[in-house]
Amino acid sequence: MMGVKILGTGSAVPSRVMTNDDMAKIVETSDEWISTRTGIRSRRYCDAEVGESHRTLVRDAAARALEAAGIEPAQVGVCLVATFTADTCTPSAACLLQADLGMPEDTLCFDLNAACAGFVYGLHVAECLLPGAARPYALVVGADTLSRVMDFTDRTTCVLFGDGAGAAVLERAEGYPELHAVWGSRGDDTSLYAPGVGCDDPSYLHMDGRAVFRFATEVMPRCTTEVLERAGISADEVDRFVYHQANKRIVDYSVKKLGLDPAKCEGNIDHTGNTSAGSVPILLDELVHAGKLGSGSRVLMAGFGAGLTWAGALAEFA
């Protein structure tokens, strides 16, 4: 049976660090409120003055993932960028990446908008597309520059989000496992939405925090359980649970409800904030660099966000 494995990961975060104390200079908030309610201590924003943009984050994360995988751009058959904050609607971020890295013209390139669930959605979409692609490697990037859609007069949203990108290279081969992905959407729920980058009116992210919190604590444990059921394994057989970093309290709730070992569910929200589609792959890459994920590791990922969307998947490292 054909399936997929992760060959390598990469990430890129901008240079400008915004601490909670920095946020308190912009809106009426405090380090104490933000850190106890969310676990966030700092986040990073792109700085155009030093040449940082959505495009550069995507390019750097993708190049690092390819290097870690030992794969050349010419070998990539599918290139997906999960995002809703790209620099341009068209060319898509994936097409810009094709040009930046010199991937062949017959690489399937497009952007995918499933907000914070985008990277996990993207893994599943890549798994589905690879059988029809020109080459058996997929580059899946999750990247968002949320600082572009923040209302910096709204303390209930602006303190939560940051910018960043992460990427993974998948290989499709005989004998590799399926991702056992689960996914869903609920388009009539307006508790989290952004009208669109480039609109004449400010295109800010709008959120009913408590409603999204309830949604998240419903779908995160559900995604986990469903993926484990599909894979026919127990939580003990998973090396790491990589959850979307929106609020440490959401992860803690899910970990407790599922009875997971907290040591397998480490997060990084303290220094990233919520980077939307970047969140899962940045954490994945940090764990790889910390030596906590590597060859043979099995990782269960789950994300949720605007749409509303959610997705879960189980992947193995080659």
The interaxial angle of helices 248-258 and 31-38, nearest 10 deg, is: 30
Nearer to ligand UT7, 239 or 252 (CB): 252
Residue 37 touches ligand UT7, criterion: CB under 6 A: yes
Catalytic hit among 79, 95, 116, 265:
116
Contact set for ligand UT7, span 96-155 (CB under 6 A): 116, 155
Helix/strand/coil for 299: strand
| Spatial CB neighbours of 239, under 8 Å, sequence gap ≥ 6 | 264, 293, 297, 298, 299
Residue 53: DSSP 8-state: -
Alpha helix segments (H runs only) across the chain: 20-24, 31-38, 54-69, 93-101, 118-129, 155-158, 209-231, 248-258, 269-272, 279-289
Of 79 and 158, CB closest to ligand UT7: 158
Query: To the nearest whole angstrom, how small is the minimum distance from the Cβ of residue 115 to ligand UT7?
Result: 7
In one-letter notation, the amino acid at residue 222 is R
State which residue, 46 or 205, has the beta carbon closest to ligand UT7. 205
Task: Specify the stretch interacting with ligand UT7 by CB under 6 A; choose among 80-88, 181-189, 212-220, 235-243.
Answer: 212-220
User: Interacting stretch for ligand UT7, rule CB under 6 A, among 96-104, 130-138, 163-171, 204-212?
Assistant: 204-212
What's the min distance (Å) between Cβ of 231 and ligand UT7?
25
Mind giving me the DSSP string for 124-163?
HHHHHHGGGSSSSEEEEEEEEEGGGG--TT-HHHHTTB-E
Cβ distance to ligand UT7 smaller for residue 85 or 274: 274
Residue 244 annotated to the active site: yes
Per the residue annotation, which of 20, 247, 268, 274 is the catalytic one?
274
Q: Choose, from 20, 79, 244, 268, the residue flagged as catalytic.
A: 244
Which residues are annotated as catalytic? 116, 244, 274
